Homo-oligomer: A and B are copies of this chain.
Amino acid sequence: MSIRVTVWHEYRHEKVNAACAELYPKGMHEAIAAPLRAHRDLVVRTATLDEPEHGLTAEVLAETDVLTWWGHRAHDEVADAIVDRVQKRVLEGMGLLVLHSGHFSKIFKRLMGTSCDLKWREEKNERETLWVTRPGHPIVQGIEDHFVIDREEMYGEFFDIPEPQSTFLISSFSGGEVFRSGCTWTRGAGKIAYFRPGHETFPTYYDANVKKVIENAVRWVAPLAAFTKPTFGNRKLGWYSAQ
């Protein structure tokens, strides 16, 4: 059984930032999508901000089991109507994987109900260590006790999110800050995961552990094969005992 994945990307940094363009010549979305495409049961497409309807037409979303989201500079340019559409699909069961600076996206703030704010710092040589805090969780399958990313942007607590259902990774940074880097929530019938690393000027999406976590997360947030849609609204007395 296959999982239909749409890798959504803002795709703006590559056009104005030489370091980013050099690292990700086809765009970060292609770097995220490529290792997923290596799995025959994952059917992967991409969508970007500047496409009509940001590439997220009703048809595309109807055919999407899992949506991944990377944005940073242009969160405000995402149309509210598209955010409504994505939220509705998540509540119906579509999985959502929010990456790095996607923490400030309209869709993540919409689903969390909070500001999703944090502390941050961009240094050329700051090291991030990600510690597994929920061994046995499917998203950390195949990940050792911890893993190190030599150079990454720092994100620091307080991260203004609702208490996660599971926190599967916590990071420390050279500078001494900590961050809940891997978290999950449920909204309606949809599963949501957040995964922190992925700054646009570092080769993070080529890291083997990062690729593995993203693949695992895509599989974990994917909806059920046989999903019974919940029903709502007015019910007469005796409606169900009569069945």
Contact = CB atoms under 8 A, between A and B. Distances in A.
Contacts of A191: 136
B227 A141 contact: yes
Nearest to A109: B113
A160 B87 CA distance: 13
A185 interface: yes
B123 A237 contact: yes
10 contacts: A114-B187, A117-B233, A131-B177, A131-B178, A135-B188, A136-B188, A143-B228, A148-B241, A163-B167, A172-B173
Nearest to A236: B121
- Which applies to chain A's interface (DSSP): helix, strand, loop or mixed? loop
A188 to B, nearest CB: 5
A132 interface: yes
Given A136-B190, A178-B178, A237-B126, A113 B111 contact: yes
Interface residues of A, number: 80
B114 A228 contact: no
A151 to B, nearest CB: 13
A52 interface: no
B145 A176 contact: no
Most B CB within 10 A of own CB, among A148, A165, A180, A230: A230
Most B CB within 10 A of own CB, among A143, A160, A188: A188
Given A131-B177, A135-B158, A165-B165, 5 more contacts: A136-B191, A136-B224, A142-B228, A162-B186, A176-B240
A231 B186 contact: no
Given A143-B228, A176-B241, A234 B186 contact: no
Contacts of A114: 91, 187-188
A186 B163 contact: yes
Interface in A150-175: 154, 156-160, 162-163, 165-167, 170-175
B157 A119 contact: no
Most B CB within 10 A of own CB, among A129, A141, A160, A178: A178
A146 interface: yes
